[in-house]
């Protein structure tokens, strides 16, 4: 008899889990819209809950504070940007370091232009979790690019990995300036980022 009762109740848990996942997704989607439309300060946990149609008391069942929302949303963006970069590098045949810089900068520029919420999180440095996520992402992409450039003979084999990490750091700071100057990213500043990063990397050319 007890086995029959347990079997009858079993489907309820997957339904609860599915509803929980749907609500988390709704919260993240609402946060993304608020960030893009009104900026970081407007995307409070209360405002996000109102946009998602979820009472503030219920919001805490899914995220303990808005920093967790920020971090989870940024993780979604980081995954998307990484996929773009990997695809762009795999499909390219760069003949010079300038070509490689373009292959990295162009997809990131285009992604930021169509995902304003990502810009609000990426460059704002509003909390330690978000800042750590960006640093870890840049370090991982820099190391991947270092291996690729050495393998393709565009960088000297003895080039330290920190060279690429510094290049990403410089690019990140200049992108920050570009998107503070214009919601779509100031093209002149982005082009200066290309020149500075390319010139630096060329000092280590094979």
What is the rounded CA–CA span in Å between residue 20 and residue 24? 6
pLDDT at 12: 57
pLDDT by residue (tens digit) across 59-108? Answer: 999 999 999 999 999 999 999 999 999 999 999 888 999 999 999 999 99
What are the residue ranges in the chain where pLDDT is below 70?
1-12, 16, 125
pLDDT at 94: 87
pLDDT at 140: 96
What is the rounded CA–CA span in Å between residue 65 and residue 49? 12
């Amino acid at each position: 008899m007890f086995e029959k009762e347990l079997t009858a109740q079993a489907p309820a848990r997957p339904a609860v889990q599915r509803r929980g996942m749907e609500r988390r997704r709704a919260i993240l989607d609402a946060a993304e819209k608020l960030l893009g439309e009104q900026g970081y300060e407007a995307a409070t946990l209360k405002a996000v809950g109102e946009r998602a149609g979820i009472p503030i008391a219920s919001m805490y069942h899914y995220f303990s504070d808005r920093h967790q929302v920020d971090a989870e949303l940024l993780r979604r963006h980081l995954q998307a940007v990484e996929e773009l970069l990997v695809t762009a590098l795999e499909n390219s045949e760069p003949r010079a370091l300038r070509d490689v810089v373009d292959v990295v900068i162009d997809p990131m520029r285009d992604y930021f232009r169509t995902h304003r919420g990502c810009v609000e999180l990426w460059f704002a440095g509003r909390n330690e979790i978000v800042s750590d996520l960006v640093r870890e992402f840049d370090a991982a992409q820099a190391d991947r690019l270092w291996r690729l450039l050495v393998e393709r003979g565009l960088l000297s084999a003895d080039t330290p990995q920190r060279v690429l990490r510094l290049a990403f750091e410089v690019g990140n700071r200049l992108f920050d300036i570009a998107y503070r100057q214009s919601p779509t990213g100031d093209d002149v500043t982005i082009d200066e980022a290309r020149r500075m990063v390319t010139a630096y990397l060329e000092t280590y050319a094979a």
